[in-house]
Each structure stands twice: as structure tokens, then as C-alpha cells.
């Protein structure tokens, strides 16, 4: 007779519908354990488009596109327009990188037994990468709360070892964004940025977060709807997006 595994060692059971509460609880307890081990007290969360590139990468991409073809086809002109927009929007990547760098240096100067105001992002590319990169370059810790999606982002390489978290459930990821945050820094982005901004605002209004948090946004103009993502580059080519903007 084959040995019957213990329930918590049974992979088939743990992946079943009946075990969903256990998987949800695991996405609370496992991050909690690691955050305690890393001595993290609170965070500053950076939100923004995953499709913004660094100035260097955006400029190089534009130059490659210019050299690729001498034929001025409609498709080529459209790609050039989008690439020029990517260079323009690279300022937000560089702004997020610099701000995270300054924040990490200031945090390191604090006399505290625990790590305060740690840079935190969704762990992916774009503004998320810029935030983690800025903190990494300053020698500070940075957190990445990444989400597992079949055709989307992977984690960026600037997240501190031991502070890269992978989530299956969106609401557990959002919980961790809100639970530790002392401040939110919001850059232009698509519906994902809008969703996290609005949920965090509701959390603050209802006072359902563990602690109070400040919210700062940066962009071109207050409350304006953006054009489609194919024009602005903050979302996928088939998804209409809204930019989160304010004076800054």
C-alpha cells in the first residue's frame, strides 16, 4: 500500500479549490515572516507605468529605429512617433530613479533599529524598475511585490535579495502595498496605476490601513484623461488607459 502524504504535503490538495483559503493565508504569512526577518518597518510605494524606459534605453531604441530603414512608410513613421514619445516619457523613469535614490540615502541616515521608509514597487519593469534601481544604487533595501501573470511582467533585477515576493492573488498583493505604506508616489500610468491609487485613497478615507499615509503624484496636468496607450505608451497596444497626473 502506497504511503498517504500528510495533508499539508499533498500537492494535489494544496492546488485544489478546497485549499484556496490556505493559499491565501500563505500569501499573508510567508511575506510577513520574510519582512520581519529583514527588519522592515514601513515603506514608500512607487506606482506608475510598466512601459516607461530609461532615457538611455529609449534613446538607443530610437536611434536603432532611425537606422533600420530609409523608407518612410506609414508603419515606420508610426513607430518613430511612438519611439520619440518613449524618449519624452523616459523623464518619468529618471525622476522615479532619482527620487528613490534620495529617499534611500535619507532612510539610511535615520537612527532607527528597523528599516524605515523602504522603497517598494510592484517589482516589474518601467517605473517599478526605476524605483528599485534608484534605491539599489544608493545602497538601500528595496521591495518588489510582483504578480504572477501568464503574459506579463517578470521581476526586475534591482530588488533586494530576500525582498522579492511573488503573488497569485491580486488582493493579497494590494494588501501588502497598503499595510506597510507611509507614502505613495504615483507616476503616470494605465488602469493598474489608477486602480491602486483609487483603492489606496479609499483605504485612507475609511481609515482601514494600519497607519496614515501621504500621497504624491507627478505628471503633466491635473486629472486629464490621456489618449490611447498606442499614443502615450503607458499601457498595452489594445488597452485604452488613463494617466494619473497632477502638477509637478
CA separation for the pair 145, 31 (Å, rounded): 10
Alpha carbon separation from 8 to 4, 12, 207 (Å, rounded): 11, 10, 36
As given in the structure block, the three cell numbers for residue 15 are 492546488
**Residue 179: per-residue pLDDT:** 93
Indicate the burial class of 191 (C-beta count within 10 angstroms; 0-12, 13-18, 19 or more): middle
* CA end-to-end span of the chain: 70
SS3 70: coil
Tell me how long the chain is. Answer: 248
As given in the structure block, the three cell numbers for residue 119 are 522603497
pLDDT tens digits in sequence order for the chain, 248 residues long: 678 899 999 999 999 999 999 999 999 999 999 999 999 999 999 999 999 999 999 999 999 888 876 667 888 888 888 999 999 999 999 999 999 999 999 999 999 999 999 999 999 999 999 999 999 999 999 999 999 887 766 899 999 999 999 999 999 999 999 999 999 999 998 777 777 666 666 665 555 555 555 656 666 543 444 444 445 555 555 444 333 333 33
**Residue 247: per-residue pLDDT:** 34
- Between CA 44 and CA 53, with CA 47 as vertex, the angle to 5 degrees is 120
- Between CA 223 and CA 106, with CA 93 as vertex, the angle to 5 degrees is 100
CA separation for the pair 52, 50 (Å, rounded): 6
Alpha carbon separation from 200 to 79, 178, 212 (Å, rounded): 36, 7, 11
Which CATH number does 38-53+93-232 carry? 3.40.50.450
43 beta partners: 118, 181
**Residue 32: per-residue pLDDT:** 98
Amino acid at each position: 500500500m502506497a504511503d498517504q502524504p500528510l495533508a499539508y504535503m499533498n500537492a494535489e490538495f494544496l492546488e485544489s479549490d478546497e485549499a484556496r483559503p490556505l493559499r491565501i493565508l500563505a500569501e499573508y504569512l510567508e511575506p510577513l515572516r520574510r519582512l520581519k526577518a529583514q527588519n522592515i518597518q514601513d515603506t514608500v510605494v512607487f506606482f506608475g507605468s510598466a512601459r516607461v524606459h530609461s532615457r538611455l534605453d529609449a534613446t538607443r531604441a530610437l536611434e536603432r529605429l532611425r537606422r533600420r530603414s530609409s523608407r518612410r512608410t506609414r508603419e515606420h513613421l508610426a513607430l518613430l512617433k511612438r519611439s520619440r514619445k518613449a524618449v519624452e516619457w523616459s523623464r518619468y523613469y529618471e525622476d522615479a530613479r532619482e527620487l528613490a535614490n534620495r529617499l534611500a540615502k535619507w532612510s539610511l541616515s535615520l537612527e532607527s533599529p528597523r528599516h524605515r521608509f523602504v522603497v517598494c514597487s510592484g517589482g516589474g519593469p518601467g517605473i517599478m524598475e526605476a524605483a528599485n534601481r534608484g534605491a539599489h544604487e544608493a545602497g538601500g533595501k528595496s521591495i518588489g511585490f510582483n504578480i504572477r501573470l501568464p503574459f506579463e511582467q517578470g521581476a526586475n533585477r534591482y530588488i533586494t535579495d530576500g525582498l522579492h515576493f511573488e503573488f497569485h492573488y491580486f488582493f493579497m498583493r494590494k494588501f501588502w502595498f497598503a499595510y506597510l505604506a507611509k507614502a505613495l508616489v504615483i507616476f503616470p500610468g494605465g488602469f493598474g496605476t489608477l486602480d491602486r491609487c483609487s483603492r489606496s485613497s479609499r483605504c485612507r478615507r475609511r481609515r482601514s490601513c494600519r497607519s496614515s499615509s501621504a500621497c504624491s503624484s507627478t505628471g503633466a496636468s491635473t486629472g486629464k484623461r490621456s489618449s490611447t496607450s498606442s499614443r502615450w505608451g503607458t499601457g498595452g497596444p489594445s488597452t485604452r488607459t488613463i494617466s494619473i497626473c497632477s502638477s509637478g
